[in-house]
Structure 1
Amino acid sequence: MSTSSSRFRFDGDVVLFGRLAVPLVVVALWQVLAMSVSGFALATPTDTFDALLDGIRSGWMVEGFERTMTELLVAYVLAIVVGIWAGVALGLSDFWHDVFEPIVLGTYAIPKVTLFPIFLFVFQFGMDSKIAFGWFHGVFPVAILTMSAMGTIDETHLDVARSLRLSRWQTFRHVIVPSILPGLVIGLRLGFNLTFLGIVLGEMFASRAGLGYTLVEYIAGVQTAPMLAIIVVLVLVATVVNVGFFVLENRLGSRSADTAQMA
């Protein structure tokens, strides 16, 4: 028993060490590659960090970050609300599930960037078009995985909720959410990633503010240090949020395993 436990801890330590080593290896390779080519083609990590600090001091990085995060937050909240509502509604009805599932999956398969001119035509320049485009990216994984997770709910639990005459909100909060939570969290993680992608793409294609817009400006000016500084910031945001979701997913998985063993 102790040997197995010790082996488990050793494996966990190795995995943790590997995860921590990956960014260090990436930075080292980045440094080597930057030294092997001209600074015009690729800035070093040090130059990139200096550009990041300069962007914070001068304000353009902070201003672009605030604009992008504001658009991301609004679009993601809308994607969560609409996605969960649609997924639960379609999951509760076999008829509507069968009718709309191929439509939802087919629409999700469309390359979203080809539809951006429509969003631009409807919402014009500004935050609205980017928020709508980001929402359109993120709502589908939330809705699809919520709809799929609805199939894991025990019908007995729903019958008990009806017999107790629970309201729709009480049924959603006390029966549906605990049952679909593992699948829902995966949908929320994928929804965030795609919403973030939609926001940045929208800023890159048609915007006058935000990190995506600034990134294109520096790409056009072939200024690699501030360009890489923006990329680093975007990667850090995505990494932090995804790590949080992965931790939550692991906790939910461990809780489900413990419940299964007790049963």
Structure 2
Amino acid sequence: MLRNTPYMVDVALVVLGIIVVWQFLHMGAGDVAISSPAATAVRAGELLLSGSFWPHAAETGLALFYALLLALTIGLGVGTLLGAHRLSGAVAEPILVALYSLPKITLYPVILLIFGLGIEAKVAFGAIHGVIPVTIFTMNAVKNINPVFLRTSRVLGMGPVQTATHILFPATLPEIVSGLRVGFSLTLLGVIIGELFASHSGMGFLVMRAIGTHDVATMMAVTLILAVAAIVIASVLIYVDNRLHRRV
């Protein structure tokens, strides 16, 4: 408990600093540009107690789940193959990095033409954001496995399944979780961007509707709810990531 005290103090100071800066921005810009922290918190509470809010939250959560699942499945499969074949990995890595730096929003019109305005477009756009980090982390994890581990598995007569479950998976798990942590943030970003530009439901749709009606309090409240949810999930992933790396 005492070991976590400095960390909790740092978190409290960061939160307090954000609230102070937020309040000063509100005082300078006024309600027409940014609502106060207190007003935003009150509006967020009203949204959370409103029955009309939760279908939009469920739509975003479902799209995020499917997008993450797709990004993780493709990223693990492609990353494992590229990491196992060093020449393919060496050729593919700069290509993946170049694709990673490409502004994904330029692909959104193509996504809309293929998938339309439904949840499929949001899932595809979110997965596009998250799949490359997972692929890169997985590829490097497989590529950097200690060769002694693999030679030991051959000496012990392990089959492919045993080698994968007892050696490959434990050795690569910390890096895979790191890739998942980065991929989660980018996948969420992709899903929300998809809802901002072309969607009839979801948290991003609520933000755009609030912007259209100049409902600053609702816009800030939805953003606050998204930020808190993202920080909580990311904090859990960071905790798991740190624990796994300490065990290595």
**If the length of structure 1 is used for normalisation, what is the TM-score?**
0.87
Structure 1 equivalent of residue 78 of structure 2: 86
Question: Partners of 1:14 and 1:157 in 2: how far apart?
Answer: 39
* Aligned counterpart, 1:44: 36
Unaligned stretches of 5+ residues in structure 2:
none
Match for residue 234 of structure 2 among 239, 242, 247: 242
Aligned to 1:109: 101
Distance 1:137 1:169, change over 3 A: farther
Structure 1 equivalent of residue 218 of structure 2? 226
Structure 1 residues 98 and 215, CA gap change in structure 2 (3 angstroms)? same
What is the percentage of aligned positions where both structures have the same residue? 34
Alpha-carbon contact 1:152-1:179 (below 8 Å) kept? no
Q: TM-score, normalised by structure 2?
A: 0.92
Shift of 1:165: 5.0
Larger radius of gyration: 1
| Correspondence for 1:253 | 245
| Separation (CA, whole Å) in 2 of partners of 1:42 and 1:106 | 37
Equivalent residue in structure 2 for 1:184, among 169, 172, 176: 176
Partner residue in 1 for 2:18 = 26
Question: What per-residue deviation string (whole Å, max 9, x for no partner) do you get for residues 102-154 of structure 1?
Answer: 33222222111101111111111100011011001100000001111122212
Cα pair distance change 1:128/1:169, threshold 3 Å? farther
| Contact 1:142–1:184 (8 Å) recurs in 2 | yes
Are the counterparts in 1 of residues 126 and 186 from structure 2 also a CA contact under 8 Å?
Answer: yes
1:232–1:100: structure 2 CA closer, same or farther, 3 Å change rule?
same
Q: Larger deviation: 217-226 or 152-161? A: 152-161
Distance apart, 1:189 and its partner CA = 0.4
**Counterpart AA for 1:170:** Q
1:16 deviation in Å?
A: 3.2
Whether contact under 8 Å (1:30, 1:45) holds in the other structure is yes
Distance 1:119 1:168, change over 3 A: farther
Deviates more, 1:244-253 or 1:215-224: 244-253
* Structure-2 separation of matches of 1:68 and 1:52: 17
Could you tell me how far 1:76 is from its partner in structure 2?
Answer: 0.2
Counterpart Cα distance in 2 of 1:62 and 1:68: 10
Structure 1: stretches of 5+ with no match in the other structure: 1-8, 257-263
Give the conservation status (yes or no) of the 8 Å contact 1:83–1:142.
yes
AA in 2 matched with 1:190: V
| Residue among 31, 40, 60 paired with 1:68 | 60
Equivalent-residue separation in structure 1 for 2:53 and 2:161 (angstroms): 42
Query: C-alpha separation between the residues in 2 aligned to 1:53 and 1:15?
Result: 28
* Alignment length (residue pairs): 248
Counterpart in the other structure of 2:90: 98
Specify the alignment match of 1:146 in structure 2: 138
Choose 91-100 or 218-227, whichever is displaced more.
91-100
Quote the RMSD (CA, aligned, Å): 2.0
Paired letter, 1:63: P
